């Protein structure tokens, strides 16, 4: 994930894939908003949200992740691919709810705990690239943190912070995707992308 232009250098097999992954993520978040904000839940609403999670949340990010890895973008590829499988689980969970199948709570708690650790470390890694990516991933960390607290403390009131964090994730994802696309198309900065939070050090010398 970067603010590079969508046209790849000759040495890279694919154009910059981050807008595809970010737009897919934003669409997946939008599909979850009615449920997150307490709209009446029906089998039809669950199945509809599940399909958007599958095709956009999982599909777009999986493609973006594979293309990023092919472009030798380790961080972007890792983030998008991990996110893609998380969205695949969202699809599976929502589809199960629509059919009356409830996932195991303890397994979900353990996985969310690991996701929280993963995204804390990824936030630190992306701090060497962009402050906006730090805000994006901090939002993800908050989302998983609220989910864990809601389940551990049995606090349904935390549903609102989860919904607001989902909105924040959607907005930041849209901004970053639009910045990459518009800046590249215009050949100048239309939407600014802030620089790194931390300055990378020199590359380690070979032994």
Within a domain: 44 = yes
pLDDT, residue 90, reads 96
What range defines the domain where residue 146 resides? 18-184
Query: Of 146, 180, 151, 148, which Cα lies nearest the Cα of 164?
Result: 146
Within a domain: 99 = yes
Question: How many angstroms separate the CA atoms of 77 and 69, rounded?
Answer: 5
Within a domain: 155 = yes
pLDDT, residue 199, reads 86
Question: How many angstroms separate the CA atoms of 192 and 96, rounded?
Answer: 41
Per-residue pLDDT of the chain (207 residues; tens, 9 = 90+): 554 444 555 588 999 999 999 999 999 999 999 999 999 999 999 999 999 999 999 999 999 999 999 999 999 999 999 999 999 999 999 999 999 999 999 999 999 999 999 999 999 999 999 999 999 999 999 999 999 999 999 999 999 999 999 999 999 999 999 999 999 999 999 999 999 998 876 755 555
Encoding tokens for residue 199?
Answer: 């300055």
Question: How many angstroms separate the CA atoms of 99 and 134, rounded?
Answer: 37
Encoding tokens for residue 21?
Answer: 């992954």
pTM: 0.90
170: left (phi over 0), alpha (psi -120 to 50) or beta: alpha
Within a domain: 206 = no
Within a domain: 192 = no
Q: Residue ranges of the alpha helices (H) in the chain? A: 18-36, 43-52, 61-70, 74-98, 105-126, 131-153, 159-186
Query: Of 18, 42, 48, which Cα lies nearest the Cα of 30?
Result: 48
**In 10 A of CB 35, how many CB atoms?**
18
Number of structural domains the chain divides into? 1
pLDDT, residue 68, reads 97
Q: Are 120 and 148 in contact (CB under 8 A)?
A: no
Question: How many angstroms separate the CA atoms of 32 and 38, rounded?
Answer: 10
Q: Are 86 and 53 in contact (CB under 8 A)?
A: no
Within a domain: 195 = no
Within a domain: 190 = no
Question: How many angstroms separate the CA atoms of 62 and 87, rounded?
Answer: 10
Q: Are 96 and 63 in contact (CB under 8 A)?
A: no
**In 10 A of CB 99, how many CB atoms?**
9
Question: How many angstroms separate the CA atoms of 5 and 141, rounded?
Answer: 28
The per-residue pLDDT for range 100-129, each reduced to its tens digit, is 999 999 999 999 999 999 999 999 999 999
């Amino acid at each position: 994930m970067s603010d590079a232009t969508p046209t790849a250098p000759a040495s890279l097999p694919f154009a910059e894939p981050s807008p595809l992954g970010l737009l897919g993520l934003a669409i997946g978040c939008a599909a979850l908003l009615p449920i997150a904000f307490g709209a009446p839940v029906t089998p039809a609403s669950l199945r509809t949200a599940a399909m958007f999670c599958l095709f956009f949340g999982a599909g777009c990010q999986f493609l973006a992740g594979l293309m990023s890895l092919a472009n030798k973008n380790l961080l972007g590829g890792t983030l998008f691919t991990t996110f893609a499988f998380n969205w695949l689980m969202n699809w599976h969970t929502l589809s199960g709810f629509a059919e009356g199948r409830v996932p195991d709570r303890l397994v979900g708690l353990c996985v969310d705990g690991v996701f929280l650790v993963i995204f804390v470390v990824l936030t630190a890694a992306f701090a060497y690239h962009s402050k906006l990516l730090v805000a994006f991933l901090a939002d993800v960390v908050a989302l998983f943190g609220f989910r864990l607290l809601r389940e551990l403390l049995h606090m349904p009131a935390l549903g609102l912070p989860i919904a607001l964090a989902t909105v924040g994730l959607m907005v930041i994802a849209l901004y970053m995707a639009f910045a990459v696309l518009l800046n590249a198309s215009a050949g100048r900065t239309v939407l600014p992308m802030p620089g790194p939070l931390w300055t990378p050090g020199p590359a380690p010398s070979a032994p």
